[in-house]
Chains A and B, each alone.
Chain A
Amino acid sequence: MKKYLAAVASLLLFPASAGAADNVKIGFITTLSGPAGIIGKHMKDASELALMMLGGKVGGVPAQIVYGDDQQKPDIGRQVADEMLTRDKVDFLTGVIWSNVMLAIYQPAIQSGTLLISANAGPHEIAGEKCAPNFFSASWQNDQTPEAMGKFMDDQKMSDVYLIAPDYAAGHDMMSGFKRFFKGKVVAETYAKFGQSDYQVEISQIRDANPKAVFAFLPGGMGIQFVKQYAQAGMREKIPLYSAFTVDETTLPAIGDAAEGNYEVGFWSPDLDNPRNKEFVTAFRQKYNYWPSYYAAQSFDAIAMIDRAVAAAKGDLADKKTMIAALEKADFPSVRGKFKYNTNHFPIENFYLLRIVKDPDGGYVRKTEKTVFADHADAYAGECKMQH
């Protein structure tokens, strides 16, 4: 019985295709199960769309995307990455939503020489001293987005701002990013429990402190709850709510009108006016019938980058140098328009102020209002000692 089980197990475990050298294998690590699975869905849908639009090929070579579920846990992410690198022998590794997962897989990925393209996470460690030539970001460095909000509020000469974020590494990073550019007075900096559902206590605190504005970083379900409760407490009319990574296309459907009029900040929005983005958003809405989020946009770009890299190396996947040089030029069509890469392979890009408004087709969308930061570079590039 045991031998039978072992045989079946090994049949299932051995890789399906061994040694098809003319095939590009792309490993995509994301979260597919659990409540954060919605983000994984956006990313998977976008990357599949991108590959489909390329005719199933990158750089002219037939390609296959292998998806792995990190279950939002860094040690599982590490295990999935190990599997992809050693068992599936992927030629590219991409995806990765969470900074702690990225930090867990970074070392083995970089050491293997495989090209690692982040479609979301951008912890500051890998923008600075841990930078590596075979890493590229298709998104941003974590601090850049709150920095943009900090700059906007500073430009507006706002003062007395109340900050709120969950008590974990990313929460603290976001707030330091904000304070890097916001020089006004911070009334309070509150860190709520990660995964907290009821924010009435913090909302009462906000009312008592009476700031001029609130800046929040509360991703996922936390943001949905906070924004809804904030509106129900009647605070929205009194103290405007600004946020980053809190109200986006993955959470807007659940928040609904409680988010109307709120401000967000980001490097991309579905209505960004460039031909590539229009192509992407139209195709995405047509195929999947919902608004893509920046997670989707970043994943779409990641596949385009892989396409560009393979094309430059003319299908020779071992020629990492050519691929890296090609990617550094950042001349592939990107949904964010034209941009450049910094010395640490993080983008130098624009950041926009976004407003949540009603969508004529029903629901709510994020609309670009103005550019807050043109060609914004991240704060850690100076620490990167990478040779070129």
Chain B
Amino acid sequence: MGGRCGAIFVALAALALVPAVATVAEAPFYIGLFARIMVFAIAALSLDLILGYGGLVSFGHAAYFGIGAYAVGILSYYGVNDGIAHFATAFIAAAIAALFIGFVSLRTSGVYFIMITLAFGQMVYFVGIGLNEYGGDDGLNIARHSNFGAALDFDRPVVFYYFTYALLLLFLFLGGRIVRSRFGMLLQGVKSNERRMIALGFPTFRYKLAAFVMAGAVCGIAGALFANLTLFVSPSIMHWTRSGEIMMMVILGGLGSLVGPVFGAAVYLILESVLSRLTEHWQAVLGPLLILVVLFSKTGLYGIFAVSRRRSG
């Protein structure tokens, strides 16, 4: 266990220090980059809850990200700038959507589940494109950040950075408690053998749905953060390929670890940025890389650290 804890501690400490380092090096760009990584890390860890622990392969997770982002965007469009209103709406709207979608989708399993979540994701995407009032596929510019009062002024990148950091820590902590709780155990039991769980008398559907809603709501918060980060939302963030990207972050980082997705988000986003600078054919590199990770390293990067630490320590 020591190796893993060490890796987590180093990573989180490093994240805490980024703004200081970036300011000293006169490269404020990195504050934005790492804020972005943390936003996607929250989205990825929310997916990990249902994917890694629950075995639910949801290919429509980006929809909740988009719903959260649009909650902020649409409220702002109507002049409502209050931060609590923004984030509460994002959370609740995403939760309701997840409740509805989960209720219908969780009746299926396997590839049927994958397809139906993809279908719902695409439907949300098409609704977004059809909403001409809010820009349609031109997207929506957001005039002001969420307003949390003078204490939390998001116009200052460092403030936003630490707010996101705090939320990341919160969700990691809460997530850790959930997966180690009775609920979490039951969820993992459903993943490994659902029939046995049903035979033991557990209402598996309810557990799956609860997890699904939780994951969707947290992803909605990630979306609200994203809207504040870029001050712009467009339906393209809800396309099924974006759901695939979030999934890739989870896999790269380490399925079923909650912390792994943080690494995964960092590696994926940095790699994408670096590779696309090097060559316009960067997808030809990313593709095989992903295949290799899937084929050879089930536990992702996080798993690699844990193993190597244990061997050396």
Query: Is there any pair of Cβ atoms, one from A and one from B, under 8 angstroms apart in the complex?
Result: yes
B138 contacts chain A at the CB level, 8 A cutoff: yes
Identify the closest chain A residue to B130 (Cβ): A167
B231 neighbours in A (Cβ, 8 Å) = 107
CA distance A180 to B69 in the complex (A): 35
B10 contacts chain A at the CB level, 8 A cutoff: yes
CA distance A168 to B237 in the complex (A): 16
A103 neighbours in B (Cβ, 8 Å) = 135, 138-139, 141, 232
Interface residues of A in 59-77 (CB under 8 A from B): 68-69, 71, 73-75
Instruction: Evaluate contact between A2 and B139: CB separation under 8 angstroms.
Output: no
Interface residues of B in 253-288 (CB under 8 A from A): 270, 273-274, 276, 280-283
CA distance A9 to B11 in the complex (A): 15
CA distance A194 to B126 in the complex (A): 10
**A13-B132 CB under 8 A given contacts A2-B10, A33-B282, A73-B236:** no
Instruction: Evaluate contact between B232 and A74: CB separation under 8 angstroms.
Output: yes
B270 neighbours in A (Cβ, 8 Å) = 9, 13
A123 contacts chain B at the CB level, 8 A cutoff: yes
Instruction: Evaluate contact between B234 and A167: CB separation under 8 angstroms.
Output: no
A317 contacts chain B at the CB level, 8 A cutoff: no
Q: Mark interface residues in B122-162 (1 if CB within 8 Å of A CB, else 0).
A: 00000001101001111101000000000000000000000
CA distance A220 to B261 in the complex (A): 36
CA distance A10 to B304 in the complex (A): 21
A83 contacts chain B at the CB level, 8 A cutoff: yes
The interface residues of chain A, by DSSP majority, are classed as: helix
Q: Mark interface residues in B37-73 (1 if CB within 8 Å of A CB, else 0).
A: 0000000000000000000000000000000000000
Query: Looking at the complex, which one of A32, A73, A169 makes contact with B280 (CB distance below 8 Å)?
Result: A32
Identify the closest chain A residue to B143 (Cβ): A107
Q: Mark interface residues in A100-115 (1 if CB within 8 Å of B CB, else 0).
A: 1001101100000000
Interface residues of B in 278-301 (CB under 8 A from A): 280-283
**A168-B29 CB under 8 A given contacts A33-B282, A75-B232:** no
Which A residues contact B (CB, under 8 angstroms)? 1-2, 6, 9, 12-14, 32-33, 37, 40, 68-69, 71, 73-75, 78-79, 82-83, 86-87, 99-100, 103-104, 106-107, 123, 167-170, 172, 194
Q: A74-B234, A100-B234 are in contact. List 11 more A-B contacts (CB 8 A).
A: A1-B308, A2-B305, A6-B14, A13-B270, A74-B232, A82-B32, A100-B236, A104-B141, A106-B141, A169-B138, A172-B132
Ordered by A's residue number, 7 sampled pairs between the chains whose C-beta atoms are within 8 Å are: A75-B237, A100-B138, A100-B139, A103-B139, A106-B141, A170-B138, A172-B132
